[in-house]
Structure 1
Amino acid sequence: MSREHKQIPKADILAIDDTPENLALLSQMLTEKGYKVRSVTKGSTALRGAKAAPPDLILLDVKMPEMNGYEVCQHLKADDRTRNIPIIFISALGDVFDKVKAFQAGGVDYITKPFQVEEVLARLNTHLTIRHLQIKLQAQNSQLQQEIAQKTAAEDKFAKAFRACPNPIAIATYREGQLLEVNKSLLQMSGYTKAEIIDRNILHLYSPQDSEKYHQALQKASLQGFVHNQELNFLTKLGQIKTVLLSLELIEWGGTKSTLQIMNDITERKRLENEFISLVSHELRTPMTSTIGALDLLNSGQLGILSDRGKQILKVAIRNTERLTRLVNDILDLERIESGQIAIEPVQCDLQPLLIQAIETMQAMAEKAEVNLLLEPCSVSIRVDPDRLLQTLTNLLSNGIKFTKPGGVVQLTASLEGDRCKIIVQDTGRGIPTDKLDSIFERFQQVDASDSRSKGGTGLGLAICRHIIERHNGKIWVESVLGKGSIFYVDLPRTHELTE
C-alpha cells in the first residue's frame, strides 16, 4: 500500500529546450523540489503535449531549430486550452530587446542563462502562486455571476488558499494603499499582528527610499495589469530590513480597485551573493597588485628592451589590468555603499567649489578626448558628503566624456529650486535608447556590451551614483535623444537628513 500512496506533485511543469543537458538539469532540480516535470526538445512536440495535457507552467528556451521560443509562445497564447498557462523564458539572450520581445509574445518572466537554481525556484514559485490565485479569483467571480447564494462558500475557499499560501501576501487599495487583508506568512515576516497592520498604509512596510520604486511599480501595473519581481526593501516591526521580490497585480476587492501583492523573501540569497562578490573581489586584489608591479617593471625597460610586438602586447596587458582594477574597486565600493559599510558623513558646505573641483579633476580626460568641459556654477549652501558627491559628479562627467565625439561638449550646471538643489550633466554624445533609460542605473548595464572594452567602463559607475544620491534622499534620472546626447539630473534636498 505504501507504494500506491505517492506524494502529490506541487505542480506540472513543461520544460522545452533543444539542449538535453539543460533539460536534464532542470528536470533533476525541479523533481527534487516536488514538481512533476515533462521535458521535450522540439516546439511542435511541446505544442501537442501542452494541448493534450495542459501543464501548470512552461519553461521555454528561445533559440531552437524549426520553431523558436517566441513562435511556440505565440501558438500557445492563440489556443484557448493553453493561453492562460504562465510561460517563463530561459535563454542566453540577455539583451533588453530580447526580453521585451519575450513579454510581447506573452511570456510572464525572463531568466538569463546561465541561471541560478535559487532564482529559477523563486520565480517559479511566485508565478505558480499568482496563477493559482488567479484561478481561484476567476472561479470566485464565475460563481458570483452564476449564483449569489454561493458567494460565501467561494470567498471561504479563496480565504483558505490565501491564508495557507507560504508567500507573504497583502491586498491594498490601489489609490490610497490602505491594507485590506494580509495572510499569516506576511504577519510572520513583518512581526505585526493583524490588528496592528490592517487599515495602515502599505508604504509603512517598505523602506522610505523605495517609495519611488513602489509608485513606479503601481504606474506600470496600471498600464499592463501586473508587475513581476520588483526588488524592494521590506521593513519589519523591529526595524529589520529584508529584501523581497514583489509581484503586484491589479484586482477588484469588495468592489474596490485594489492590488494583490505577493512577496518572495530573498534576503539570505542577497546576503550570500554579496558575500561571494566581496570575497572574490578581495581575493583578486593581491594577485592584481603583483601583476601590475610586474607589468610596470617590464614597461620601465629595466629588464631589457622589448620588440615593437612585445611593447604592443604589454600595452594591451596594462590596459586590461587597469580595467580589471577599476572593476574590482567599483564592485567593492558598491557593495560597501549598499551594506552601509561606507559612512555618508554630511556637512554644510558650498556647492560651487565642489563643481569646480569636479571639472578640474576631469579636465585631463576631456582634453585627451578633445571634448570641451563647460561649467555654470551655483553658489548655494547644501548639506552633503562632499567626497561622495564629488565621486558622483566625476562619474557622470566621465560617462559624458566617454560617449561624446571629439569637438563635442559636456556641460555641468547647478541651480536652486526652492528647498531643492538640481545638478545637471549634459553631453552631446550618441544618446541612450528609450528601452534602456530605466535600466542604465542597474549593475553592469551598458548601452552597448562592447562599451566595457572600447570605453574602459565597468558598468557600475551609474549604479554607484544612484546609491550615493539615494542615501542623500535625492533622485537621479536621465533623459536622452539618440544621436543628440543625454542629460543626467541629480535632485538633492538642501538640508534633509540622510537615509540610513
Structure 2
Amino acid sequence: MSNSPIATPKADILVIDDTPENLALLSQILKDKGYKVRSVTKPSTGLRGAQAAPPDLILLDVKMPEMDGYEVCKRLKADQRTHDIPIIFISALGELLDKVTAFEVGGVDYITKPFQVEEVLARLETHLTICNLQKQLQAQNKQLQQEIVERTAAEEKFGIIFRSSPNPIAIATLTEGRFLDINPCFSKLTGYSQTEVIGRTITELNPSLTPEIYDSAVQYLLENGSLHNKEYEIYTKEGQPRVVLVSTELIELAGVQCTLSIINDITERKRMEDEFISLVSHELRTPMNSIIGALDLLGTQKLGTLTELGQQTINIATNNMERLIRLVNDILDLERIKSGKIAMRYVECQADKLLIEATQAMQAMADSAQVNLSVEPTPVQIHADPDRILQTLTNLLSNAIKFSEPGETVSLRSSLNCEYLQIEVQDRGRGIPQDKLQLIFERFQQVDASDSRAKGGTGLGLPICRTIVEQHNGRIWVESSLGEGSTFYVRLPVDEGLGTGD
C-alpha cells in the first residue's frame, strides 16, 4: 500500500451534458489536471447535485432534451446557494449558440465541441481565478464593513465618554501641540470655549508652558509612549493659576500622531497640602531642635553618668531626631524651590569641576560603605546654579552608594551633545521595578517602605533633584534592571555660544 498523501483537488467541477461521450472526455481531461469532477447526464440531477454540494464551477451543455442549458442556468442563478457559481456553456460547433441569451441568463463564457484541451483549461482556470478573487474581495469587504461597524461603535462610545467625562480631556497634534478637540469639562476648567481653543497651540493658550517644556514632554512621549501624572501650572482665561496633573497617551488620527491628555485639577489639594506641610514643618523644627539639644546634653553625661544601655538609648533617640530634622529640612527645601522662594543663581560654571567636587564630597561615605567611586567628567561650560547642581549630584551619588554592595563601583560620568550635557550616575545595586521608575521621583516614594529606616532616606531626595533639574529646563530619569543596577540620567541644556572648556 502506498503511504503518499492524497493531493487536494484544484477545484470541484460539475459537468452537465446528456452525451456520455462528452462527459467521459471532459472528465478525463479535467481529472488529469488535478480537478475533482462530478458528471451527470440529466439537468434535474445536476440541479439537485449543485444545490446539495455547490461546486466551484459548472460546465453546462446548451442542447438537452429534458431542459435546455439556458433554463438550468436561470434556475441555478435564482437559487441563493448556487447564485455565485460561474457557469460555462458547452455547444457543438455546428449548433447555434445564442450568446446574448447565454450571457443574459448568467453564463460567464462558452466552449465548443470538439474540445480543444488548452482552450478548455485556459477558460476554466481564468474563471476559477476570477471567482476566487471575487470571493476574496467579498470576504475583505465583509471584514472591512465589520471593522467599520466596530470602529463606528467604538467612536460613538468614546464620544460619549469624552463629552461626559468629569475630567478635562484634550486632543492635540504631537509636533505642534495644536488643539483638535476638547470636552466640556476642559472648557469649565480653563474658561475657554471650544471655538476659542480649537486650532490654537498649547503654548499659545498657556505661555507658562514654554516651547522648551513642551518639547521635553514630546521627547519623553516619543521615548516612552505615555506620560503619567505630570504636574504643570496653567492659567485660566481670567488669568487665574491652576495646578494640574496631566496624563498623556500617544494616539493616531488619520495618519497623524496626536496626544490624548486627561487632566486632573489638584489646585485645592495642593494648596491644602502645601499649607499643611509648611505648618507642620515650621511647628516641628523648634521642638525638635530643643529635643536634640537636650539629647546631646544628656549624651555628654554632664547631668549624670549613664549606663551603657542608657547611652545606647540616647544614641538611638539622637539618630532618629536627626533623621526627622533632615526630613523637615528636605520638605522645606523642596517647597521653597518649587514655590520660587529659593532663587536659582545662574552663572557660567565648569560642569566637569562640579562632577569632581561631588565625588570628593561623597568619598567619605563611599569609603565607609566600602564602595568605589569612579568619575569621568567632560570639560564643558554650562549656565546653571552650581550649588543646586552639586546638590543634585551628591543626592544621586548618595542613593547609589546606599544601594551598592561592598566592593562595587558607582560611576559618575558625563558626555556632551550639541544641545545638552548628559550626566549619568550608575550603580550595580538591586535595581528598581518597572512600576516604580516614575513613582520614585514623587514625594515620599521609595522602592521599599523599609528603606527609610534601613538606609536613612527621607523619600524627598529624588523629588528635590527633579525640581532642581526642571528649574534648569533639563530632564531627569532612570533606567534599571532588577538585580543588575540602575542608571540615573540628567540632561542639562548647553547654551549657544558655550562650549568645551579649556
Give the whole-Å Cα distance in 1 for the aligned partners of 2:350 and 2:441: 27
Q: Is the 8 A contact 2:413 2:424 kept in 1?
A: yes
CA distance change for structure 1 residues 180 and 488 in 2, over 3 Å: closer, same or farther? closer
2:489 is matched with which residue? Answer: 489
Q: For residues 284 and 390 of structure 1, do their structure 2 counterparts lie closer, same or farther at Cα, with a shift above 3 Å needed?
A: same
Q: Match for residue 459 of structure 1?
A: 459
Q: State the Cα RMSD in Å.
A: 3.6
Counterpart secondary structure, 2:441: coil
Q: Please identify the structure whose Cα radius of gyration is greater.
A: 2
Secondary structure class of the residue paired with 1:440: helix
- Report the Cα distance in structure 1 between the residues aligned to 2:251 and 2:477, rounded to whole angstroms: 31
2:382 counterpart residue number? 382
Distance across 1 between alignment mates of 2:214 and 2:181? 22
Q: Give the counterpart letter for 1:345 in structure 2.
A: R
342-351 vs 233-242, greater mean Cα deviation: 233-242
Identity rate of aligned residues, in percent? 57
1:484 & 1:466 partners in 2: Cα distance? 24
Q: Are the equivalent residues in 1 in contact too, given 2:443–2:463 (CA < 8 A)?
A: yes
> Quick one: structure 1 residues 242 and 144, their matched pair in 2 at CA, closer, same or farther if it must change by over 3 Å?
same
Please report how far the alpha carbon of residue 294 of structure 1 lies from its aligned counterpart in structure 2 after TM superposition.
0.6
**Structure 1 gaps, min length 5:** 1-140, 146-150
Equivalence for 1:415? 415
Q: Conserved in 1, the CA contact under 8 Å of 2:349 and 2:381?
A: yes
Answer yes or no: is 1:306 the counterpart of 2:283: no
The CA distance in 1 between the partners of 2:308 and 2:390, in whole Å, is: 40
| Aligned equivalents of 2:373, 2:463: Cα separation in 1 | 23
CA drift of 1:320 comes to: 0.7
Contact 2:174 2:218 survives alignment (8 Å):
no
Tell me how far 1:238 sits from its aligned partner: 6.4
Letter in 1 for 2:445: Q
Q: Is the 8 A contact 1:170 1:181 kept in 2?
A: yes
Structure 1 residue aligned with 2:72: none
Q: 1:276 to 1:258 in 2, by over 3 A?
A: same
Query: 2:398 maps to what in 1?
Result: 398
The 3 A distance-change label for structure 1 pair 469 and 246 is: closer
Contact 2:221/2:250, CA 8 A, preserved across alignment: no
TM-score, scaled relative to structure 1: 0.60
Q: Which residue of 1 aligns with 2:263?
A: 263
Do the aligned residues in 1 keep the contact of 2:168 with 2:264 (CA within 8 Å)? yes
TM-score, structure 2 as length reference: 0.60
Alpha-carbon separation, structure 2, partners of 1:263 and 1:295: 48
Distance in 1 separating the partners of 2:238 and 2:495: 28
Q: 1:359 to 1:472 in 2, by over 3 A?
A: same
Q: How does 1:343-362 map to 2 (within 5 A)?
A: 343-362=343-362
Give the 3-state SS of the residue equivalent to 1:329 in structure 2.
Answer: helix
1:335 alignment partner, SS class: helix
> 1:380 Cα shift?
1.5
Q: Distance between the aligned counterparts of 1:218 and 1:491, measured in 2?
A: 16
Aligned partners of 1:178 and 1:220: how far apart in 2? 21
Residue 142 to residue 257, structure 1, CA distance change in 2 (3 Å): farther
Rounded Cα–Cα distance in structure 1 between residues aligned with 2:258 and 2:380? 44
Instruction: Give the aligned partner of residue 365 of structure 2.
Output: 365
SS in 2 for 1:445: coil
- Post-superposition shift, 1:415? 2.3
Structure 2 CA distance for partners of 1:464 and 1:316, relative to 1, 3 Å: same
The structural deviation recorded for 1:369 is 1.1
8 Å contact kept, 1:204–1:235? no
Aligned length: 345
The one-letter code sitting in structure 2 at the alignment partner of 1:242 is R
Question: What pairs with 1:89-128 in structure 2 (closer than 5 Å)?
Answer: none
Q: Counterpart of 2:426?
A: 426
The match for 2:331 is 331
Deviation (angstroms), 1:481: 2.4
- CA–CA distance in 2 between the matches of 1:200 and 1:449? 45
Cα deviation for residue 291 of structure 1 reads 0.7
| SS, match of residue 310 in structure 2 | helix
**Amino acid corresponding to residue 312 of structure 1 in structure 2:** Q
Structure-2 change in CA distance of 1:362 and 1:218 (3 Å): closer
Letter of the aligned partner of 1:479 in structure 2?
E
